[in-house]
């Protein structure tokens, strides 16, 4: 690729979008060194079945089992939960020296909230009766609606909203040794990944890590500068459909499939990562986009065009190979856009700022042979403000007000064998200022606004293929 390329001014919106997609990017996708034309086959034991592996065709698998106590679902008598959270199967390979592919599926797809029928004396934000008078009729889910309410009250162990059972599916094109282009559905590189801070499932993840976890459809172009086998600087820009965080800001949009694009504009994410030495990992990501869209014939606060911006800065320091400290600052901008507010009769509606941070430390110590033990401690603070809280405050409902904070303390431990079998346990102290707006506590009756603290504890087992 030449050092610089000059473009004329685009003459149309489609042309501008095409240029934007062409230069979309992400740091993690630099093309690896090409394998030999016919690499030798290698057998792998895939959960008891042996397959021949090669650079052209590789199978992978990850099974995550979990048991937890979750106080957020104690009102239903379901605080003790055991589930298969993820059963991920993947296929990857290199078509030729420049093109490779990756596909992963997880048939345990239960992350999305479901419409609730409601319960006597409780408020459920996912109750379709909230917008039934002005929108299409949405049937409630008798089985799951009360248990898959929002990210505060759910039994899901997974943290990625999928396209059906499809988790990721993309193709990479290695333009050069430093530049590559990706297209398809992929997990966006925003913030530290869950495993990098010791998290295993949605139950033991901090809220910021959950908010950053998003898969979406789009295109990316990546640049990577390497020193030997290690990347020292990565940068990129990506363009995706958006809508990945729709449910996190209570933009139910009549519970339309979240993999469908309700957006009228493309979401853009810029990211960079600097690691001059192994001990330092500094990252930054900025997202500018929207979720949902205005429906002029069916104006509803719960189906509107929302802001979906994010600024996330992360730092991880590893002075020795078995210990690290880390921290992350995040600032999100949510809430209905100005034009949506005008359509809903709420002129001058300001965007919702949602800042927060977490910091922690992690140990990963070799004991003997392939066995390692360790753990992590993380402290998080994040404002509770979002579109639900804004709506309830404006209507003076349930004693809710803006400006309150979520706080959490997470303590984790693990035993790891060859990085293939991991047993983890956790305890999480959760301070949620308004558990009753997620259907966890009643809002009427003699026990109104009281209930079990939404603290969590549990254990998980993860088994992976080599």
Whole-angstrom distance, CA of residue 292 vs CA of residue 261 = 8
* Distance set, CA 149 to CA 55, 188, 453 (Å): 42, 24, 17
For residue 256, is pLDDT > 90? no
Whole-angstrom distance, CA of residue 61 vs CA of residue 59 = 7
Higher pLDDT, 437 or 300: 437
For residue 421, is pLDDT > 80? yes
**Residue range 433-438: mean pLDDT, rounded:** 97
Q: Round the average pLDDT of the chain to a whole number and report it.
A: 88
Residue 203 tokens, joined: 């139950």
**Residue range 359-378: mean pLDDT, rounded:** 96
Q: pLDDT digit string (tens) for 16-60?
A: 444 333 333 333 333 333 333 444 456 655 455 565 667 888 999
For residue 232, is pLDDT > 60? yes
For residue 7, is pLDDT > 50? no
Q: Residue 148 in contact with residue 154, Cβ under 8 Å?
A: yes
Percent of the chain at pLDDT > 70 equals 88
pLDDT on residue 18: 40
Residue 303 tokens, joined: 């189906």
pLDDT on residue 38: 40
Whole-angstrom distance, CA of residue 306 vs CA of residue 289 = 9
Higher pLDDT, 227 or 7: 227
φ/ψ of 366, rounded to 5, equals -70, 135
pLDDT class for 5, splitting at 50, 70, 90? very low
pLDDT on residue 52: 64
Please identify which residue in the block is written with the tokens 């941070």: 357
Residue 278: is it exposed, middle or buried by C-beta count within 10 angstroms (0-12/13-18/19+)? exposed
For residue 300, is pLDDT > 80? yes
**Residue range 212-230: mean pLDDT, rounded:** 93
How far apart, in Å, do the first and last CA atoms of the chain sit?
A: 35
Task: Give the alpha-carbon dihedral of 249, 255, 257, 263, to 10 degrees.
Answer: -50
pLDDT on residue 244: 80
Higher pLDDT, 312 or 9: 312
Residues 6+ apart with CB under 8 A from 277: none
Whole-angstrom distance, CA of residue 35 vs CA of residue 174 = 13
Whole-angstrom distance, CA of residue 328 vs CA of residue 170 = 28
pLDDT on residue 1: 36
pLDDT on residue 51: 58
For residue 261, is pLDDT > 80? no
Q: How far is CA 84 from the centre of its chain?
A: 19
* Distance set, CA 115 to CA 138, 143, 144, 257, 327 (Å): 8, 10, 8, 12, 35
Residues 6+ apart with CB under 8 A from 123: 398, 436, 437, 439, 443
Whole-angstrom distance, CA of residue 115 vs CA of residue 273 = 39
pLDDT on residue 262: 76
Query: Which range among 176-180, 359-363, 372-376, 411-415 shows the weakest confidence by mean pLDDT?
Result: 176-180
- For the entire predicted model, the pTM comes to 0.86
pLDDT on residue 280: 97
For residue 315, is pLDDT > 60? yes
For residue 10, is pLDDT > 70? no
φ/ψ of 51, rounded to 5, equals -125, 150
Whole-angstrom distance, CA of residue 252 vs CA of residue 112 = 10
Whole-angstrom distance, CA of residue 265 vs CA of residue 325 = 38
Residues 6+ apart with CB under 8 A from 12: none
pLDDT on residue 87: 97
Whole-angstrom distance, CA of residue 446 vs CA of residue 13 = 59
Q: pLDDT digit string (tens) for 79-132?
A: 999 999 999 999 999 999 999 999 999 999 999 999 998 788 999 999 998 887
Return the CATH architecture of domain 13-464.
Beta Barrel (2.40)
Query: Which range among 6-15, 166-175, 224-233 shows the weakest confidence by mean pLDDT?
Result: 6-15
Q: Residue 292 in contact with residue 262, Cβ under 8 Å?
A: yes
């Amino acid at each position: 690729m030449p050092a610089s390329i000059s473009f004329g001014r685009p003459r149309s919106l489609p042309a501008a979008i095409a240029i934007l997609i062409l230069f979309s990017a992400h740091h993690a996708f630099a093309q690896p060194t090409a394998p030999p034309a016919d690499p030798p086959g290698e057998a792998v034991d895939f959960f008891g079945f042996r397959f021949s592996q090669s650079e052209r065709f590789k199978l992978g698998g990850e099974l995550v089992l979990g048991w937890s106590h979750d106080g957020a679902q104690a009102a239903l008598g379901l605080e003790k939960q055991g589930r298969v959270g993820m059963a991920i199967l993947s296929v990857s390979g290199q078509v030729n020296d420049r093109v490779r592919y990756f596909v992963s599926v997880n048939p345990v797809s239960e992350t999305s909230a479901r419409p609730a029928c409601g319960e006597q004396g409780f408020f459920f934000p996912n109750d379709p009766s909230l917008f039934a008078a002005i929108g299409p009729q949405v049937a409630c889910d008798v089985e799951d609606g009360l248990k898959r309410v929002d990210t505060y009250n759910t039994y899901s162990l997974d943290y990625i909203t999928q396209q059906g059972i499809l988790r990721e599916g993309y193709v990479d094109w290695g333009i050069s040794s430093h530049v590559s282009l990706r297209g398809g559905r992929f997990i966006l590189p925003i913030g530290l990944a869950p495993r990098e801070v010791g998290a295993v499932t949605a139950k033991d993840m901090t809220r910021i890590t959950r908010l950053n976890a998003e898969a979406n459809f789009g295109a990316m172009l990546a640049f990577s500068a390497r020193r030997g086998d290690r990347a020292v600087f990565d940068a990129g820009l990506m363009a995706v459909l958006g809508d990945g965080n729709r449910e996190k800001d209570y933009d139910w949009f009549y519970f339309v499939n979240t993999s469908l694009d309700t957006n009228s504009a493309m979401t853009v994410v810029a990211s960079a990562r600097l690691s001059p030495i192994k001990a330092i990992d500094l990252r930054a990501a900025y997202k500018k986009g929207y979720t949902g869209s205005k429906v002029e014939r069916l104006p509803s606060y719960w189906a509107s065009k929302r802001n979906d911006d994010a600024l996330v800065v992360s730092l991880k320091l590893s002075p020795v190979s078995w210990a690290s400290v880390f921290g992350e600052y995040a600032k999100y901008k949510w809430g209905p856009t100005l034009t949506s507010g005008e359509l809903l009769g709420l002129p001058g509606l300001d965007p919702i700022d949602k800042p927060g941070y977490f910091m922690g430390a992690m140990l990963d110590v070799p004991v003997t042979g392939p066995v390692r033990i360790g753990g992590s401690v993380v402290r998080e603070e994040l404002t509770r403000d979002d579109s639900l809280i804004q709506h309830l405050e404006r209507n003076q409902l349930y004693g809710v007000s803006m400006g309150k904070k979520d706080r959490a303390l997470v303590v984790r431990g693990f035993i790891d064998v060859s990085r293939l079998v991991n047993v983890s346990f956790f305890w999480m102290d959760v301070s949620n200022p308004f558990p009753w707006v997620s259907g966890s506590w009643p809002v009427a009756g003699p026990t109104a606004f009281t209930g079990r603290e939404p603290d969590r504890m549990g254990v998980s087992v993860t088994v992976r293929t080599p």
